[in-house]
Structure 1
Amino acid sequence: MRSRSRAQVLGIAVLLLLSGCAPAPQPIESPSAAAPESASPTPTPSPRPAVEPTAAFDVTCGDVAVAIEAVVGAPATPMQPVMSTVSTMNWIPGPAQYMFQRAGGIACSAGDESGYWEVTIVPGAQAVIDGAEERGQPTVPGGGCENDYCRFEITDGDVHLSAFVYDPDAVADEASQLEAAFTALVSAAASRVREVEHGDSGIVGARCERFMRTEELTRLLGTEVREFTAFGGWGIPAEVYHVVNGASHCLYTSPGSGYEVQSHLEITMLPAGAWAFERQEGTPVIVDGADAATTSTGSYGRTFLDLRIGPDWIRLTTFDDGSGAPDPLPIAELVVRNFTVGHLAPQ
């Protein structure tokens, strides 16, 4: 963050099983299932424009960046209004990076492995904190710095701030300066909280089998597939993603447990996330039944296929098993059909 004499790289492994989410409880919002298209000739109303949700408070990522940079200096990469992908849980990149905006909050991050930070601020703090604690992850208020890593959890009224800073050039009083900056930010956010509207969505409350059944993927891939449910831990991000937003995180693997399994397909999503889908880079492809689709690649040989179905964004990730990641296009076509029309009868 400050100018460095040498590059320093985090040695934190990003492990699939430390995914920060357990089997999901019921979402707060009521499910709104997507119905098949009508054969009626009645003209369909134009969909609402894909507009980013409005935060429930006036604090912005610009405010966050100014406050942090006053303490730790400018980051190696510009601030982005999304959750960080540096040393994070494997399910975060993509739709989940925008989960706090869907919840009426903000997510901001900057930097790279040599030094980075992430701040999330969410309204409805008490419900989120209580939910995370109920599912086994109490939120410890306060925070501090140790070995160049700083963590803070600060609540003011019904607004909660979570912050993580990695600064290998940290100075002695950095913890107190950061705590003062974060306390001021969450206090400013809590001083004026307003109700916000959640955009319409067809995927709120939809469980994994709505998109893909294990027997369907087994037939497509020609190998036995199981739905993986032994995720480790919970926390505020998982509470926001699953409960507040009503989204599902679906992982299909080979049979087995722990680190022995081979991942085949992961599905993540952002309800009413068409606005965020439109910001993604990728190669356009045609998927029957989807309003738009793109493909791209990620680290470790992963292949992404992003779908926009009505107002919603769904990401499919396939994994390299040593011979390359499976083509996600046939999988995407089945996911879209399952969601918009329904599952085919077993053959």
Structure 2
Amino acid sequence: MVDIEQINPRNEAALRAWWEVGRAATAYRPGKPWPVWEQSRVALPADNPERGITLIGAIDGREMVGAGLLTRSLRDNLHTAMAFAYTRPDRVREGIGRRLVEELEVVAAGDGRTTVQSEAYLPPGGSGVPEAFATAMGYAVASRESIKELTLTDYLARREALAASAPVPDGYRVITFDTVCPDEHLDSFGRLLGMLLAEVPLGELDLEDSEWSAERIREAERRQVAIGRHVQTAMALAPDGSVAGASDVRVDDSDPAHGQVGITLVDPVHRGRRLGLALKVATHDLAVATYPELVSVDTSNAEVNTWMNAVNDALGYRTIETLLELQKTL
């Protein structure tokens, strides 16, 4: 008989069993779909002022055959939660995934969340079992994104031409830093971060704008430092000294061969100057210089975001998956 139980992330043996299920369930996907063990071992039990998590496992006797994760913001969008369910490949089609999702929805509802969001990954432009399962569970597609991967050899082959095509505009400066924003730019950076959800294409996702105070930024930075995650950031400064845009590549100490783009955002007032491409080149240069062993970087963008997709294509990113952003009202 399979039982659904909550997993304590500070119980390392239980966490490792949970992690193994997720790794096995995502092994068929291209790219880097699952974090290395050390990254999960450090990050999941760590205190997080931004996000609450619940881990659940499907237990059959002494074996974990399914794993679930519920995350929810603790600062904004308090009506939403994100749910993820994974079934060990040798135990699919036994109803384990359904039971995991149902339990995650119960936890979300108990926490006062009324909208649950999730993700399904498919071959580029294709369809498959994850989409059918989501539909059967009552989840609608709210947005479509492309998962893209860049090999650093491809980037380095293009780098000089890219830099020449997108010089920093007259009167602007680009600065870089590792995770911790300089004090003098902190308030202006918070203003930019507060624009993010209003400026990126969300489709039908039920998400609201957020506010980023100086203290909130510093709390997030402290957590990144504590778990060994480096947010290699490039920031564009306008002629008046305000933050005009920012982009980052995130690399964990536990996995220095792989990076992930976090955000890329240019204030609408400063668009039309190719700042986005200039910032991307600066972040990728910083990541390459800091991590000689870096092999690849991945990112995702809404399919309708033609501007950012064009920037990523110019950098050498190639689409490896289609991501369906899913949503259900409880």
> Shorter-chain TM-score category?
under 0.3
Which of the pair has the greater relative contact order for Cα pairs under 8 Å at 6+ separation?
Answer: 2
Question: Greater strand percent: which structure?
Answer: 2
Question: Greater helix percent: which structure?
Answer: 2
TM-score w.r.t. structure 1 length? 0.26
TM-score w.r.t. structure 2 length? 0.27
